[in-house]
């Protein structure tokens, strides 16, 4: 079971390395969207500091959604998905592997580059750590929930737009709590409760999403 998990993660990372352009697009999109705000809003430091967490979080949501379409559609098109459905390993495990690989490729780079981008907003240094940690807990939830939408819209025409309509509302709680964490820290309040909530989202999604993704894939592949 673990062999298959490792094999699928390795395979997806290998594919990402061989198609670097796809990975770079989502990351550059994130960088550009976040950088547009200081240019558009103007150099008003207080305002920038206030909007920073929200802007970075919204940009992270959109950037992580850009790569959702590719998550299963390539495997669906070349028949690999059929082989995954007929695998000796439970589909849930394979799905977890795919989500982990998606997060490593599309989520982790956002987390790592976010503190650098936050400097444009003059975010104080202690808040950079809070922002990074909130994204570290939140982006895996985005990958898990997004994968449900990607699996449901598999093989549909215009699936890309539909997946955003399906998934974005589900991202709302993560966005509120995630951006709220940094706001709380900025106000000098305790952030523990927010972090625990984000962790709870992650555990909840981690337990139930693979099951939902597997069920959706079986339906979409018929």
Partner 1 sequence: MLEIADLECVRGGRTLFSGLSLALRGGELLRVAGANGSGKTSLLRIVCGLLSPAHGEVRWHGGNIRSLREEYWKQLVYVGHSNAVKDDLTATENLVVACTLAGMKVEREQACTALARFGLAGREALPAKVLSQGQQRRVALARLLLSEAVPLWVLDEPFAALDATAVDCVETLIAQHVARGATVVFTTHQEAQIAATVALTIDLDTRAVSC
Distance CA 132, CA 95 (A): 26
Interacting residue ranges for partner 1, rule: CB under 8 A? 3-4, 7-8, 11, 14-15, 18-19, 77-80, 82-90, 94, 221-222
Task: Answer yes or no: are the C-beta atoms of 108 and 28 closer than 8 Å.
Answer: no
CA 152-157-163 angle, 5° bins = 40
Is the Cβ of residue 79 or residue 190 nearer to partner 1 in the bound state?
A: 79
Token pair belonging to 166 = 């399906």
Instruction: Of 63, 41, 167, give the one whose Cα is nearest residue 112.
Output: 63
Is the Cβ of residue 85 or residue 136 nearer to partner 1 in the bound state?
A: 85
Is the Cβ of residue 25 or residue 80 nearer to partner 1 in the bound state?
A: 80
Number of other residues whose CB lies within 10 A of the CB of residue 128: 17
Least Cβ distance, residue 89 to partner 1 (angstroms): 7
Is the Cβ of residue 25 or residue 87 nearer to partner 1 in the bound state?
A: 87
Least Cβ distance, residue 105 to partner 1 (angstroms): 14
Least Cβ distance, residue 79 to partner 1 (angstroms): 3
Distance CA 35, CA 199 (A): 28
Least Cβ distance, residue 204 to partner 1 (angstroms): 26
Is the Cβ of residue 22 or residue 122 nearer to partner 1 in the bound state?
A: 22
Backbone phi, psi, residue 89, to 5°: -90, 140
Instruction: Of 220, 66, 62, give the one whose Cα is nearest residue 155.
Output: 220
Least Cβ distance, residue 157 to partner 1 (angstroms): 16
Instruction: Of 176, 144, 136, 3, give the one whose Cα is nearest residue 71.
Output: 144
């Amino acid at each position: 079971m673990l062999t298959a998990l490792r094999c699928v993660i390795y395979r997806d990372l290998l594919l990402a390395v061989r198609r670097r352009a796809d990975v770079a697009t989502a990351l550059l999109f994130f960088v550009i969207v976040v950088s547009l705000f200081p240019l558009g809003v103007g150099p008003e430091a207080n305002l920038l500091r206030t909007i920073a967490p929200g802007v970075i979080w919204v940009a992270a949501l959109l950037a992580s959604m850009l790569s959702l379409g590719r998550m299963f559609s390539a495997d669906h098109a070349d028949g690999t998905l059929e082989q995954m459905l007929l695998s000796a390993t439970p589909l849930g495990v394979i799905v977890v592997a795919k989500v982990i690989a998606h997060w490593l490729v599309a989520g982790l780079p956002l987390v790592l580059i976010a503190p650098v981008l936050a400097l444009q907003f003059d975010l104080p240094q202690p808040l950079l750590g809070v922002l990074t940690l909130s994204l570290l807990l939140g982006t895996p939830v985005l990958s898990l929930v997004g994968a449900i939408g990607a699996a449901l819209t598999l093989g549909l025409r215009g699936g890309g737009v539909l997946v955003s309509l399906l998934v974005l509302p589900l991202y709302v709680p993560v966005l509120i709590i995630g951006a709220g964490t940094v706001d709380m820290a900025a106000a000098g309040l305790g952030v523990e409760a927010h972090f625990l909530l984000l962790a709870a989202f992650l555990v909840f999604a981690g337990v139930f999403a693979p099951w939902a993704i597997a069920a959706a894939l079986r339906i979409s592949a018929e």
